[in-house]
Amino acid sequence: MGAYILRRLLLMIPTLIGIMAINFVIIQFAPGGPIEQVIAQLQGDNVSATSRISGGGNDLGSSPAANQGGGDSAGSKYRGAQGLDPEFIKELEVQFGFDKPPLERFGRLILDYATFNFGESYFRDIAVVDLIIEKLPVSISLGLWMTLISYGISIPLGIRKAVKDGTSFDVWTSTVIIIGYAIPGFLFAIILIVLFAGGSFWDFFPLRGLTSEGWSDMSWPHRILDYFWHLVLPLTAMALSAFATTTLLTKNSFLDEIRKQYVQTARAKGLTERQVLYGHVFRNAMLIVVAGFPGAFISAFFAGSLLIETIFSLDGLGLLGFESALNRDYAVMFATLYIFSLMGLIVNLVSDLTYTWIDPRIDFESREV
């Protein structure tokens, strides 16, 4: 097993480089880079990007170079640069690192990321690592708890539905699950706000943030209660649609195994239904469910929480990545891409190792990676 883990870890290196290379190439052809964002802001056409350059600390609107209009930048490769001093444009290229050829920039990026040196945000006067750490608690809270709640409910429910296949319990739970899956998470979030967060009905739950004001002054029991009180609505909105896939996958997987000959043999030997289900069927049926865990975890941790973070005013990594893409803050974009790609690869490895815990008969050592 040690050799298999080592091979998988080594394979993460070219995989990460490939992911970063593909996205780096795409970015080279994307219109409206960070320099265009700065130019648009100087021209009064952009309000989304902040007004400070990483490392410079000077407000762009008051930069002497920016206010010089005598230079001829008609031939500039940047849109909207007419009327700005070419020397100022060159200073921007140096600050953003665009004075170097793309291959050299990509090589430097990979070397820095290998040591988790992500540099500083283009438009926020803060290191990217500090910015990510600042947003991390929100994403961890949403992703981790949503995944645990989803699997904690879906797996027992799926097993129960398999045992009660065709009964009224199976029918009405399937109806509820399908209806929940059909409702978009963001729409259900709005419904929850209207009903329970000071909309047209009740005001039971807070509308924004992970904690209340004065949280640091509360006792530890009150802190925990306040934290989960803020998570009730976001987690409910996120988890509703997540139940369907895992529950039905678990049910179908168990049904497939229950109908096999070895189950009939185990029953003929006098084993109880519980012994058959959890002593024989569980190991085989859960393999396909475990296989879907990495995708569900990463989706809940990042992509699936974007709209929920926006609706409930939760400033997490999903919202950070989205805003960085809009503002062309490539330092933050590539850092979040790198971190989530690395997390996905590690979770996939953990998922494979979980196979051996569920079913020791699986031997990865004999496989060619």
Domain boundaries of the chain, sorted by first residue: 29-127, 129-366
Better-scored residue on pLDDT, 288 or 237: 237
pLDDT of the residue at 356? 72
pLDDT in tens, 25-57: 988 887 777 877 777 777 665 544 444 434 444
Q: Which of 44-53, 131-140, 201-210 has the lowest mean pLDDT?
A: 44-53
**Residue 305 three-state SS:** helix
Residue 228 pLDDT more than 80? Answer: yes
State the residue for tokens 């350059």.
Answer: 53
Contacts of 348 (CB under 8 A, 6+ apart): 294
Q: Is the pLDDT of residue 74 over 60?
A: no
Residues 333 and 187: their CA atoms lie apart, in Å, by: 27
**CA of 2: how far to CAs of 123, 175, 258, in Å?**
44, 46, 34
Q: Which strand (E) or helix (H) includes residue 130?
A: helix 128-163
Per-residue pLDDT at 327 exceeds 90: no
Amino acid 45: pLDDT: 59
Lowest mean pLDDT across 31-35, 51-55, 219-223, 331-335: 51-55
Q: What is the mean pLDDT of residues 67-89?
A: 58
pLDDT bin (cut points 50, 70, 90) of residue 15 is very high
pLDDT score for 110: 93
- For the ranges 45-59, 102-116, 232-246, the maximum mean pLDDT occurs at 102-116
Rounded distance, CA 205 to CA 230, Å? 7
d(CA 292, CA 57): 46
Closest by CA position to 35, among listed 85, 98, 86: 98
* pLDDT > 70? residue 61: no
| Mean model confidence pLDDT for the chain | 79
CA distance 276 to 278: 6
List 203's β-bridge partners, or say none.
Answer: 197
| Mean pLDDT, residues 167-176 taken together | 91
Cα dist from 120 to 117, 123, 263, whole Å = 9, 9, 59
Closest CA to 230 of 147, 342, 308: 308
Is residue 107 very low, low, confident or very high in pLDDT (cuts 50, 70, 90)?
Answer: very high
Percent of the chain with pLDDT over 90: 10
Q: Which one is predicted more confidently, 11 or 208? A: 11
- Among candidates 129, 144, 135, which has minimal Cα distance to 319? 135
329-360 exposure pattern, b = at least 16 Cβ within 10 A, e = fewer = bbbbbbbbbbbbbbbbbebbbebbeebeebee
- Please tell me the least confidently modeled range out of 98-107, 230-239, 243-252, 300-309: 300-309
Instruction: Give residue 180's pLDDT band: very low, low, confident or very high (50, 70, 90).
Output: confident
- At 18, the pLDDT band (50, 70, 90 cuts) reads very high
Q: Average of pLDDT values for 61-70?
A: 44
pLDDT of residue 68: 45
For the structural domain made of 129-366, what CATH number should be given?
A: 1.10.3720.10
What is the structure's pLDDT at 339? 86
Residue type at 170? D
- What angle in degrees, to the nearest 10, is found between the helix axes of 330-358 and 2-29? 150
